[in-house]
Chains A and B, each alone.
Chain A
Amino acid sequence: MTDAASDHLPHTDSPHTVSGPIGHNEPRARARRTVAGKGRYVDDIVLPRMLHVAFLRSPHAHAAILSIDAAEAREAPGIVAVVTGKDMATQCTPYAGSHQLFKRLKAPDQYPLAVDRVLWQGEPVVAVVATSRALAEDAAELVDVDYDILPAVTSFERGTPPAVQLHDDIPDNIALVEQLGTATVGEDFPGADQVFEAQFRFGRITGTTLEPRGIIADYEPREGALTVHCSHQCPHQQQDIFARHLGLPEHKVRVLCPDVGGAFGLKQQLYGDEFAVCALSIMLGRPVKFIADRLESMVSDNHARDHAATARIAVKSDGTIVGMEVDDIFGIGPYSQYPRSSVGEGNHVLRITGAPYRLDDYRARLTMVYQNKSMIGHYRSVGHPVACAITEGLVDLAADGLGLDPADIRRRNFVRSSDCPRVSPGGIDMPDMSLETCFDAVVAAMDLPALRAEQAEMRKKGVYRGIGIAAFVELTASGPEYYGPGGNRITSQEGCHLKLEPSGVVRCWISVTDQGQGTDTGIGQVVASHLGVAMADVRVFSGDSETTPYGGGAWASRGIAIGGEAALRAATALKANILELAAVVLQADAGTLDIVGGRVVDRDTGTERMPLSDVARIGYFRQDTLPPGVQPELSVVRHYVTPRGRKFMATNGVHAAHVEVDTQTGIVRCLGHWVAHDAGVVVNPSLVEEQIRGGVVQGIGSALFEELRYDDDGQMLSGSLADYLVPMASEMPEITVLHVEGTGVEEELGAKGVGEAGVAGSPAAIMNAVNDAIAGAGLGQRIHTLPLSPERILGALGKVPGEL
């Protein structure tokens, strides 16, 4: 690790005492296996008599299905079944992505395959099952679907009455309008000297996990049991969905998510094609595998963002921010995603825009519209980057308009620790914020004055560099208040099951899942620390709905913050049980004993009394030596749900980007990036650091390269990785991560979520840095459209025509 990366800045005195492996860079057991090529991803699993499915997908964005002729395909070599949407609809109950906290949300029913109309290019229409994927693809080409092509809804500007209606009872294609704030959007800001306004546009992007989505469903007809291996984040959620919608008893459905090759929220939903695979296995009584290829991933994976917002900031002449407003139109594709709904991203934009600042006059409006494009779902840092880019774009705009330094205007307006506890105007509970500490850390690490001086020097030479700063408020570790009242069957609890083995080592099953974040290892560290054993003596299992405690899996940065708390409780409980048993054996008072280094010791002197292996041996094999009535309990399960009333564990951070814009080509070079982030107690610094860096890279990707483009007919123009550009190593800067340990966490462990932090602020920082390079140098207009492609930058510089 670089020196800067290991800086650790206490914000206040931590109330959390830590010991053992917590706080250390423990290597991951999974990593040892995957470097050897021994990862076990879904596509690596082969079951006896397994069949393969290929989906025939709609070539049109909007069309009626007039007829399907599959006769020739059914005769093709290796073909076992050809199943249409109508056949499939009889196998399952439909589903709708509603959310009862948003009662006005109109969410139409969905089926796994299109029934009589297709609503996006790439929608699965026919499933072709064969003995190999290649034969299934060959036969899919022989299926003849007769379509009546309908006009597609692809733009989503307000005020243009839709020429085409997507769903029967939604004449305006508007899924939801939601408002909040002190005044109606568009009204005056009392007490403001100036108001600045800008239009923001965020293109469609997608998670682009390197491992495409994949699933194997294996229905055993004699047992009536369905076993599913899938590349997913939430095994229990999927178990519930498959059981309910396929009419199976829940205890006969098992969902395993082994090694998962990246997820990022993309693998958190129900996908029609994956659901269809389960139904196909039931229909055929054989295992069926589906692995999305990259071309179909681009049109069938959930997309994210797609916002057009008008936003305003109101300031006094001295730079005090008095108000902010956002009016966001959010295109969500043809349906609301299931089971979580598509509201999440828009809701976050509504709630966290402006959140880092002490403004009180805040109003926001969200309009969610249906379109003939792929579905919009959750992608890492749901809504945060949009809210942050709008907020921080406005702050820079105000600084520029008032002639103030962008750093100074931020410093004076941040929500301070002394303002907390506070509830933001968007409704975010802020028990404590460490924005000032994060900001100071970033400014010091980057040496802002020196970079500014260098920038001025370089400008004289015609080299245009820019610095962008962005503060963010991050919602992590969500509680039961969102999906519970929403009526979505998504649990907010996490659990941990610990078992002391006869040998004296510990097995640990957790409900949180690991897609590379290192959650398994982080939980192992918590268990080892709080039980008093070595890391090597804890083996952690996750990703199996049948054997792990019931829990949410991976979403909303809750693995360590919530799963870790469950693990801490389980470890504490197991320790108490072990000490009780040891006390009986040693004829001592359990309160005088402790466990250190895998041994029972005298609490006061540290003298060894007996190793855990002896406690376990007696507990399992020599109950005869124990007094009557003593029952060893060497397995425990504990669950954890966050405190009622706390919707999220809010945290915060600050990003800074340093870029150089080539004014001839419009290409942006990233020179450096700094992030200070408040993760509370850091359980494993290296996991946190590289996860934040990974997020920064995803954020830079969405700021500079990534865009799913459609033509006016709803045809995707960027359907391969050759067209959809993801960041590669050579384009990425060195990223300095600074840990700030803030407070405000009720939990004993004291960890806050970190998964969103990297993505939340990096697009805003890049956007501000690019604008600093070009608008700050007086070369052109500000751009608030992401991605900042070379074409858009040249447009801002007035070198090529075109809309910004």
Chain B
Amino acid sequence: MSDRSYSVSMTVNGEVVNANVSARTNLVDFLRQDLELTGSHVGCEHGVCGACTVRVDGRIMRGCLLLAVQADGQSVETIEGMAGDPLMTSLQDVFVEENALQCGFCTPAMLLTAHEFISRVVETGAYRPDRDAIRDTISGNYCRCTGYQSIVQAVERVLIQYETAPTKAPNGAPNPGSDR
């Protein structure tokens, strides 16, 4: 099997990373194995479970469906890089309070999905409390442990917090808490 390597350069959690990656390495494997950023998980590697969700140029993507070489020149963020983000911090706190996770394997991806949803809603001001919309949004992320309800509850709680305090809305500010 041919296993050609390519040199890539990307920003990962705010740091410039230059690496040689084989053409077939997907982004989540690159992050996990080469950069030892193990916060993003692998549940299926065929695009169904959502556990590998990461942010690429600010949008959430499935890290198993992107090759590392496709992220060349882009900005990649993982749960580790979101450590100082205020919305993410609120989500993390409320997830713990609401017991919105059990084994936690789905959780980093679920948080990134919730983060994008709330950011979008707060930006457009389009949200009316609607748990079905939250359920639809997180339906790309498989969770086998919870009954989803506590996740819905947690996302709704944070959403309401942000709706009523729009000054705290996230706006793509740099993430000071990156631990890389």
- Using a CB–CB distance below 8 Å, which chain A residues touch chain B? 1-2, 25, 27-28, 30-32, 34-41, 43-44, 46, 134, 138, 141, 207-212, 259-264, 293-295, 515-518, 686-687, 689-698, 720-722, 726, 728-732, 734-735, 758
Q: Once the chains are docked, how many angstroms separate the CA of A264 from the CA of B140?
A: 22
**A690/B102 in contact, CB under 8 A:** yes
A798, B49: Cα distance in complex, Å: 35
Please give, as numbers and ranges, the residues of chain A lying within 8 Å of B103 by CB-CB distance: 34, 209-211, 259-263, 515-516
Q: How many A-B residue pairs have CB under 8 A?
A: 193
- Determine the distance from Cα of A30 to Cα of B145 in the docked complex, in whole angstroms: 15
B41 within 8 Å of A (CB atoms):
yes
> Beyond A37-B79, A261-B103, is A734–B131 a contact (Cβ under 8 Å)?
yes
- The count of residues in chain B whose C-beta lies closer than 8 Å to any C-beta of chain A is 61
**Are A41 and B79 also in contact (CB < 8 A) when A210-B51, A720-B46 are?**
no
In angstroms, how far is the closest chain B Cβ from the Cβ of A499? 27
A37 touches B145 (CB 8 A): no
Asked whether, in the complex, the Cβ of B104 is within 8 Å of the Cβ of A31, the reply is yes
The 8 closest A-B pairs by CB, nearest first: A693-B147, A37-B39, A34-B104, A516-B102, A261-B105, A516-B103, A37-B79, A721-B48
B24: interface (CB < 8 Å) = yes
Write out, one digit per residue, whether chain B residues 135-149 have a CB within 8 A of any chain A CB (1) or not (0): 110111111111111
Within 8 Å by CB of A27, from B97, B136, B142, B152, lies B97
**A31 to B45, Cβ gap below 8 A?**
no
18 extra interface residue pairs, beta carbon distance < 8 Å, beyond A262-B102, A728-B140: A37-B39, A37-B79, A210-B105, A211-B41, A259-B104, A261-B103, A294-B45, A518-B99, A689-B99, A694-B102, A694-B145, A694-B147, A721-B44, A726-B142, A728-B141, A729-B151, A732-B149, A735-B149
Our pick among A25, A698, A730 for the contact of B136 (Cβ within 8 Å) is A730
Chain B residues 4-27 with CB under 8 Å of chain A are 22, 24-25
- Give chain A residues whose Cβ lies under 8 Å from the Cβ of B51: 210
A351 to B134, CA, bound (A): 42
B144–A31 touching, CB < 8 Å: no
Q: Mark B99-142, 1 if CB is under 8 A from A, else 0.
A: 11111111110010000000000000000000110111011111
Write the nearest CB–CB distance from A240 to chain B, whole angstroms.
25
Q: List chain A residues, Cβ under 8 A from B42.
A: 43
From A35, A294, A295, contact of B107 by CB (8 A): A35
Q: Which residue of the partner chain, among B80, B96, B135, contacts A32 with CB atoms under 8 Å?
A: B96
User: Taking the complex as formed, is B74 at the interface, i.e. its CB lies under 8 A from any CB of chain A?
Assistant: no
**For the complex, what is the distance from the CA of A41 to the CA of B40, rounded to whole Å?**
11
Q: Determine the residue in chain B with the shortest Cβ distance to A726.
A: B142
**Measured between C-beta atoms, what is the minimum distance from B153 to chain A in Å?**
7
CA distance A294 to B41 in the complex (A): 13
Cβ-neighbour of B153 out of A1, A208, A726 (below 8 A): A1
> With an 8 A cutoff between CB atoms, is B38 at the interface?
yes
For B91, the closest partner residue in chain A by CB is: A35
User: Do B147 and A730 touch (CB < 8 A)?
Assistant: no
In the assembly, what is the distance between CA of A25 and CA of B108, in Å?
22
Known: A134-B24, A210-B49. A35 touches B92 (CB 8 A): yes
Which of A35, A43, A260, A516 is the most central at the interface, judged by chain B CB atoms within 10 Å of its CB?
A35
B56 proximal to A (CB < 8 A): no
Decide if A262 touches B101 in the complex (CB within 8 Å). Answer: no
- B98 beta carbon closer than 8 Å to chain A: yes
Given contacts A210-B142, A686-B99, A730-B136, contact A262 B105 (CB under 8 A): yes
Q: Contact check: which of A208, A261, A516, A692 meets B147 at CB < 8 Å?
A: A692
Please state if B41 and A41 are interface contacts (CB–CB under 8 Å).
Answer: yes
B84 to chain A, nearest CB (A): 11
6 inter-chain pairs at a CB distance below 8 angstroms, sorted by A residue, are: A2-B153, A35-B92, A138-B3, A210-B103, A264-B144, A721-B142
Instruction: Show the binding face of B for A, using Cβ within 8 Å.
Output: 1, 3, 22, 24-25, 32, 36, 38-46, 48-49, 51, 78-80, 83, 91-92, 95-108, 111, 131-132, 134-136, 138-153
CB < 8 Å: which of A141, A517, A726 contacts B102? A517
Q: How far is the CA of A367 from the CA of B107 in the complex (A)?
A: 42
Complex contacts, B49 vs chain A, CB 8 Å: 210, 294, 721
What is the interface of chain B mostly: helix, strand, loop, or mixed?
loop
Select one of A35, A263, A690 contacting B96, CB under 8 A. Answer: A35
| A518-B147 contact given A32-B96, A37-B108, A44-B38, CB 8 Å threshold | no
Q: A34, B107: Cβ atoms under 8 Å?
A: yes
Contact B95 A212 (CB under 8 A): no
Q: Is the CB of B149 within 8 A of A693?
A: yes
The chain A residue with its CB closest to the CB of B152 is A729
In the complex the two chains form, what is the Cα distance from A694 to B145 in whole Å?
5
Which chain A residue shows the least CB distance to B132? A730
Give the docked Cα–Cα distance between A35 and B151 (Å): 12
Given A294-B46, A729-B152, A730-B135, also A690-B147 (CB < 8 A): yes
- CB-CB under 8 A from B111, the residues of chain A are 35
> From residue B118, how far is it (CB to closest CB) to chain A in Å?
15
Also in contact, A729 and B101, with CB within 8 A (given A211-B41, A721-B46):
no
Q: Are A31 and B101 in contact (CB under 8 A)?
A: yes
Residue in chain B with minimal CB distance to A293: B45
Does the CB pair A732–B148 fall under 8 Å? yes
Nearest neighbor of A40 in chain B, beta-carbon distance = B38
Q: Do residues B98 and A686 form an inter-chain contact, with CB atoms below 8 A?
A: yes
Q: Roughly how many angstroms separate A36 CA and B103 CA in the complex, as a whole number?
A: 13
Question: In the bound complex, what is the Cα–Cα distance between A553 and B15 (angstroms)?
Answer: 42
The interface residues of chain B lying within 8 Å CB-to-CB of A43 are 32, 38, 42
Specify the chain B residue showing the minimal Cβ separation from A26. Answer: B99
Report chain B residues within 8 Å CB of A30. 104
Q: A31 touching B136 by the CB < 8 A rule?
A: no
Q: How far is the CA of A607 from the CA of B79 in the complex (A)?
A: 48
Q: Determine the chain B residues whose CB is within 8 A of the CB of A687 once the complex forms.
A: 99
Nearest opposing residue in chain A for B44, CB measure: A294
Q: How far is the CA of A726 from the CA of B111 in the complex (A)?
A: 20
Q: Given contacts A35-B107, A721-B48, is CB(A516)–CB(B99) below 8 Å?
A: no
| Given A35-B96, A720-B48, A735-B147, residue A516 in contact with residue B43 (CB < 8 A) | no
Name the B residues within 8 Å of A732 (CB-CB).
135, 147-149
Q: How many angstroms from the CA of A38 to the CA of B95 in the assembled complex?
A: 15
Assess whether B96 is in contact with A39, with CB atoms less than 8 Å apart: no
Set B36, B78, B144: member contacting A46, Cβ < 8 A: B36
Closest to A697 in B: B147
A211 to B41, CA, bound (A): 8
A262 touches B44 (CB 8 A): no
Q: Which residues of chain A have C-beta atoms less than 8 A from B91's C-beta? A: 35
For B40, list chain A residues within 8 Å (CB). 37
Across the interface, do A28 and B132 meet the contact criterion of CB distance under 8 Å?
no
**Bound: A517/B101 CA distance, A:** 9
Return the contact of A261 from the options B3, B98, B104, B149 (Cβ within 8 A). Answer: B104
Query: B150 near A690 (CB under 8 angstroms)?
Result: yes
A2 and B157 alpha carbons, distance in the complex (Å): 12
B44: which A residues are within 8 A, CB to CB? 294, 720-721
Q: Is the CB of B146 within 8 A of A690?
A: yes
Complex Cα spacing A262 to B143, Å: 10
Which of chain B's residues has its CB closest to A25's CB?
A: B99
Given A261-B41, A730-B132, A690 contacting B99 (CB threshold 8 A)? yes
A593 vs chain B, min Cβ distance (A): 36
Tell me, rounded to whole Å, the shortest Cβ–Cβ distance linking B148 to chain A.
4
The reply to whether A28 and B144 contact each other, CB–CB distance below 8 Å, is: no
Closest to A692 in B: B147
Residues of B within 8 A of A25 (CB): 99
Q: Which residues of the other chain, A, contact B100 by a CB distance below 8 angstroms?
A: 690
